[in-house]
Amino acid sequence: MKNKTVKILSPFTTVIRRYLAKRWAITTSSLKDIKGGKWLEIIIGTLGAVWLGVVFNSSDPMFSKSGFPWTWIVPILLSLRYGVASGLLSSIILIFAWLFVGGDISFDTFPTSYFIGGIITVMICGEYNEAWQSKYRRVEQSTFYTVEKLEQLTHRYYILKLSHDRLEQMIMTKPGTLRDALLKLNELVGEESLKFNDKKTHLLAASQFLSILAYYCQITKAAIFPMLPNQKISSTALASIGNKFELDTKDPLVLFTLEEGKVAHINPKELGEEIPSKYIVAAVLKDRAENVFGLFVVESMPFFALHQDTLQMISVLVDYYVDSLDVMPKVEPIKQTYSDIPIDFAKELTRLSYIERKSHVQSHIATLVFDDNTKDIMVQIKRMQRKMDLSWEKKLDGKTALLTLMPLTDAKGLDGYAARISDWMKAHHGKTLEESSVILYATNLGDYKNDVETLQHLLFRCQNG
């Protein structure tokens, strides 16, 4: 009978031992994260609860014989707020406190069930804390990504609106639109990032960028001055248009621009008077994290070109250029391996894979493989993508793969995408995906070590089936 009972309980005891070993490892690592303020809160709060028991219930200061163990409220609250480690530390303090205020300290009188029940309650509360902390971190990462995407969409909407206005006006003095300038700049940064990377200034293709600014904004004399390691702007230009000149770091316009962190210019109404600055326009090159890479300064440009539209174009092009610089170093390994990958696809892939590996917020790449007989279907399916999805048509040997990057999409969302495509195929062509010889492959961005390896495994499956 005894052996039979042991066999029945053996699986349960194994599970309990494994759980306690895992919990012990997590608890010991969590103790290292407890900072000075938390230590004081744990010690003072626990001892304060014991002191209140001594004052108001001296016969039973720990409330071990009362109807409710009031002293355990402090460890439970600490466990809910800071986790299991803090709750267990408070419980240990209670045990030592009982040795001093509990009276008889013999083993027979020790309230075993009182302390075991309290510790179990503290551990359960700690589990709730860690579950909610994990959920909070995931939601925080998803929210951060959503807010970043919203900022990008707002910025792109403004660029689209401004570009549309330029297309309508078609002013003779305007050699091109903002949209043309952004396309040119996007191609430039994508190409030059593979050839040149100035590790000292983090500025790619500065001379070519100045050429674009000069062409689209009628600038005749300007320069980019990099940020030095001592966090001061260099007086020597990294790149320039027109005659080279040194930067006057004490110039009022330069000082104002660095202080405000945005595009600044002189007032055209003051051109007939004594001007306090010898420069016309200045703009800080900084990313979203407020890291300054340099300063763009215009010393000469035609009078008729100095108006609000030109200043807005300078501001947009500078912001777009710096934003591209922030992402391009991460995209460079992908572009080196797959030169035909769209730059926007590669940028978004690096952002989403980082979130996947850091916070386990899933994103997927769904890939449909078409042969020569189903290419027309590929064009129609591409139009069905969500606005947030990005696509890449990859030519393979005798096949074409349509890779769709699906941000913040888990396995259920991927199944919904496959079902939606299959239903559409059935409704419009009378066949499902399998019956139409269209094969679907998918991969999670966190399944492999890096983005290049993810694409290599996925395309290998597409090619070889």
User: What pLDDT score does 106 carry?
Assistant: 58
Residues of the chain with CATH 3.30.450.40: 175-329
Residue 202's pLDDT is 59
Nearest 5°: the CA angle 128, 14, 93 is 50
pLDDT at residue number 199: 41
Six token digits for residue 120: 């179990």
Edge-to-edge, what's the strand order for the sheet holding 390-396? Answer: 390-396, 399-406, 364-370, 439-444
Contact in structure between 390 and 345 (CB atoms under 8 Å): yes
Which residue ranges does the chain devote to CATH 3.30.70.2880? 338-464
CATH of domain 338-464: 3.30.70.2880
From CA 85, how far away is CA 28, in angstroms rounded? Answer: 7
Query: Could you read off the pLDDT of 422-443 as tens digits, one per residue?
Result: 888 888 888 877 777 788 899 9
Task: Judge if pTM exceeds 0.85.
Answer: no
Report which residue type is found at 439: I
The pLDDT of residue 208 is: 85
Nearest to 406 by CA among 417, 397, 396: 417
Return the pLDDT at 200: 39
366: buried, middle or exposed (CB in 10 Å: 19+, 13-18, 0-12)? buried
Any residues with CB less than 8 A from the CB of 74 and at least 6 apart, and which?
A: 45, 46, 48, 49, 90
Which of 374, 430, 381, 427 is closest to 403 using CA atoms? 381
The per-residue pLDDT for range 400-421, each reduced to its tens digit, is 899 999 888 888 888 888 888 8
pLDDT at 392: 92
* 396 neighbors 459 (Cβ within 8 angstroms): yes
What's the confidence (pLDDT) of residue 231?
Answer: 83
Which CATH number fits the domain 175-329, given the four candidates 3.40.50.1370, 3.40.1160.10, 3.90.1010.10, 3.30.450.40? 3.30.450.40
Contact 365, 405 (CB under 8 A): yes
pLDDT of residue 12: 42
Per-residue model confidence (pLDDT) at position 291: 80
Contacts of 432 (CB under 8 A, 6+ apart): 422, 425, 426
Q: How do the pLDDT tens digits run along the chain, 465 residues long?
A: 445 444 444 554 554 455 555 555 555 555 555 555 677 787 888 888 788 877 777 777 777 777 788 888 888 888 888 888 888 888 888 888 877 776 555 556 677 778 888 888 888 888 888 888 888 888 888 888 888 888 888 888 888 888 777 666 655 455 566 667 767 776 676 555 545 444 434 576 788 888 888 888 888 899 999 888 888 888 888 888 888 888 888 888 888 888 888 888 887 555 445 567 888 899 988 876 678 888 999 988 877 677 777 788 888 888 778 777 767 677 888 888 998 998 888 888 887 887 787 667 788 999 998 887 777 788 888 888 877 788 999 988 888 899 999 888 888 888 888 888 888 888 888 887 777 778 889 999 888 888 999 999 999 998 886
Helix, strand, coil shares of the chain as percentages rounded to 5? Answer: 60, 10, 30
Look at residue 17 in the predicted model and tell me its pLDDT.
56
- The answer to whether 129 and 80 are in contact (CB under 8 A) is yes
- CB count, 10 Å around CB of 323? 16
